[in-house]
Structure 1
């Protein structure tokens, strides 16, 4: 959503309106970007001292995030590396139990709900929108749950719709009816024949959540609690409707201006991204989630095998190494080996959560500014290089 603020022409613009324009520009990354899934030549796996040096330098760099926190897990052992601050005003350091917006890593949670329901027989991967959500346009009817989960559906992305962008620009904190977000694109045809190609779309995971609600008669929020949070022991993860974050939290910043970083942690209502990007969690909870999710703890081996049928496609923003897409999950093939997970970015935040296929080893890597191909292509390249080094450290492989 590449919106940019209009010149004021001498009119005094309020702080709220400035933030609205800023958020509209930042939301460009919620829509898919045309970018290669490949990264350039990257350095080999470093030790913790070198990893620390990398994130320290990243925070100090021009356009770098005010804060970084990475949690690396190997079985029952955990280590935390951090740089910069969680709050520019107080100088407090980032901590594993700080709340944060996990952005599109929320799509992995909708994948977890859907695949758990597939495992129980309540849903099937070949169920169509026509069967489960008949109120949606007939032209979308042949789209299957499988195609929604691996972004081959062809659904138009509602975050690109002028009506949605205008609403966010006018009032970033407005409360959307999350279950009507697809109304912004109901007059549009599919972008391509379902299953014929890959295109990342935020509409996909909204439809996944609606399908889950339709077959269970239960709210998506309750399904998350019963099928994901409780089994995986997540105690600090929620899907809010408003713009507030629970204390304590990692503050998210815009660093594009010439002055001090601007705190935009609570500028945007989560109701407008819902199942596609609205979840709030902590590095500690996210670490527990990705180990269980990537490791297949929530459903049987047959569903895991279907989940790991890879197609060409990158997450948004692209993760480390070569990206391929599965059902609600991506495979990141690095020089040191492959991990499974998801990335995400949201105004003020960029995320990576990944784990080995057995769920034993994991990495969560959180930065407190939005980095993507559209807003900060050079910083994204650098971020992916750092992420790959951290993956190599998790896999304990080097030169």
Structure 2
């Protein structure tokens, strides 16, 4: 099996800390209890010197440095197209697209294009769950078995452990049968129950809470909880209670393989034969609550601070302050100090948010509260570069330029 095929089996819709904060999953002993790091504080992030601001002003000189850094990553990692946005209040913004959105026509990448955002979806699903917590319809320490039957260890795994990737449930997208089903017919629809079946035929990886293991299965279960306790389809709930209040008119939870125009084509080697294919019309239902959402640069510019701070743009609470504090408690999950994962969100050296990857596309949307800086990067490939997500390589290159005291530094090991 090709390297790319094996990666899809390990969990292609994932890349939120996939190959980033994820420790080796199928082997290795139990890890010591992690130390909680409040995400909004970034306690383990290095402090800038008095002569160096936390985020550099986006002067024309800095913008040229950014251009060069992005183009270098594109050349080295063979990325067809990239869009990057950086915003800090009171400073010039940086919004630029590079390369092509469509290799066959040469159409240029553009800031207004829709893209599939993969595991960024998890931030929306967990937001829905936390809103139900605030409404006292569910509690984070409820076992999943209270809501969904047939879950291995369902009487012991809590909703909190699912959202924090500490359930021990096998990741369905690592199952060989799933990989064969998806790549043999990428446009086929999958139901949540079918996805769970691929997971539940495997034994649990470890006992609940024992360690961190990034699993899409967790989010499928949480999506079902949101549907059951809200009485709405997940996409409808997210639109009504998250997207509309945030003013995000160009973000959608697709029901099939629909893809609004204009959109970038997406290039992947996660295919049955390992050869590159355009995945734009693949059906993302196999990612569902873990990875199906479509969005744009401007909407993610809105979303990154909204999810990091728990407030809608008009200042009203999206999630209660006490609940948001729980969300932003990010236990360290790997060897990188200052990098941890909370409830459907990560903190990497003070940058709070999520990344995403599924065949053909990668995304990164993060927020640095200390300077109120938002960084969004969108790519139309998910093909690895030196065993690392291209969005991670790009995020590191960008933050080395704009925030050298807060570099988005993730391990150069790809497990997802």
**CA contact under 8 A between 1:244 and 1:266: conserved in structure 2?**
no
Query: Are 1:326 and 2:342 an aligned pair?
Result: yes
Map of 2:333 onto structure 1: 313
CA distance in structure 1 between the aligned counterparts of 2:202 and 2:270, rounded to whole angstroms: 34
Shift of 1:28: 4.4
Residues 272 and 381 (structure 1 numbering): CA distance in 2 closer, same or farther, change over 3 Å? Answer: closer
Map of 1:18 onto structure 2: none
**CA contact under 8 A between 2:270 and 2:359: conserved in structure 1?**
no
What RMSD in Å do the two structures reach over aligned CA positions?
A: 3.3
Map of 1:4 onto structure 2: 2
Post-superposition Cα deviations, 1:64-117, rounded to whole Å, max 9, x if no partner, equal 211111111223864302221222233333222211010111111111111122
CA distance in structure 2 between the aligned counterparts of 1:27 and 1:391, rounded to whole angstroms: 35
Shift of 1:299: 1.2
Post-superposition Cα deviations, 1:210-229, rounded to whole Å, max 9, x if no partner, equal 11111122111111111111
* SS of equivalent residue, structure 1 residue 293: helix
Alignment of 1:101-140 (within 5 A): 101-133=116-148, 135-137=149-151, 139-140=153-154
Map of 1:146 onto structure 2: 160
Task: Specify every segment of 5 or more residues in structure 2 that has no aligned partner in the other structure, as ranges.
Answer: 24-54, 312-317, 408-416
Map of 2:173 onto structure 1: 159
Residues 299 and 290 (structure 1 numbering): CA distance in 2 closer, same or farther, change over 3 Å? Answer: same
Post-superposition Cα deviations, 1:28-58, rounded to whole Å, max 9, x if no partner, equal 45268666679xxxxx968111000111222
Map of 1:302 onto structure 2: 322
TM-score by length of 1: 0.80
The number of residue pairs the alignment matches comes to: 360
Residues 267 and 142 (structure 1 numbering): CA distance in 2 closer, same or farther, change over 3 Å? Answer: same
Alignment of 1:195-344 (within 5 A): 195-254=209-268, 262=276, 264-297=278-311, 298-313=318-333, 322-333=338-349, 338-344=350-356
Map of 1:11 onto structure 2: none
**CA contact under 8 A between 1:332 and 1:339: conserved in structure 2?**
yes
Map of 1:377 onto structure 2: 388
**CA contact under 8 A between 1:27 and 1:346: conserved in structure 2?**
no
CA distance in structure 2 between the aligned counterparts of 1:140 and 1:361, rounded to whole angstroms: 40
Shift of 1:124: 1.2
**CA contact under 8 A between 1:321 and 1:388: conserved in structure 2?**
no
Map of 1:15 onto structure 2: none
Map of 2:99 onto structure 1: 84
Which shifted more, 343-352 or 67-76?
67-76
CA distance in structure 2 between the aligned counterparts of 1:278 and 1:25, rounded to whole angstroms: 18
Task: Specify every segment of 5 or more residues in structure 1 that has no aligned partner in the other structure, as ranges.
Answer: 6-21, 39-43
Residues 376 and 178 (structure 1 numbering): CA distance in 2 closer, same or farther, change over 3 Å? Answer: same
